[in-house]
């Protein structure tokens, strides 16, 4: 559920569940615009031979 009454923590948990098993994770970052910013990070590894 998204809207004014939605819990941000619950929304983040839902996104993390959807990302399970995929090479992505949500990480908290600090930026100039906002002190609480969530970023989608690609955590896949690329092997170079």
Nearest-angstrom CA–CA distance, 33 and 26: 18
* Band of pLDDT at residue 1, cut at 50, 70 and 90: low
Determine phi and psi for 32, rounding to 5 degrees: -75, -30
Domain ranges of the chain: 8-42
Q: Mean pLDDT over all residues of the chain?
A: 75
Pick the residue with more confidence: 34 or 43?
43
Start-to-end Cα distance in the chain:
45
């Amino acid at each position: 559920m998204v809207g004014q009454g939605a819990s941000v923590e619950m929304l983040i948990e839902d996104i993390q569940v959807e990302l399970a098993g995929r090479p992505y994770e949500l990480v908290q970052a600090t930026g100039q615009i906002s002190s609480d910013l969530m970023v989608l990070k690609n955590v896949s590894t690329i092997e170079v031979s």
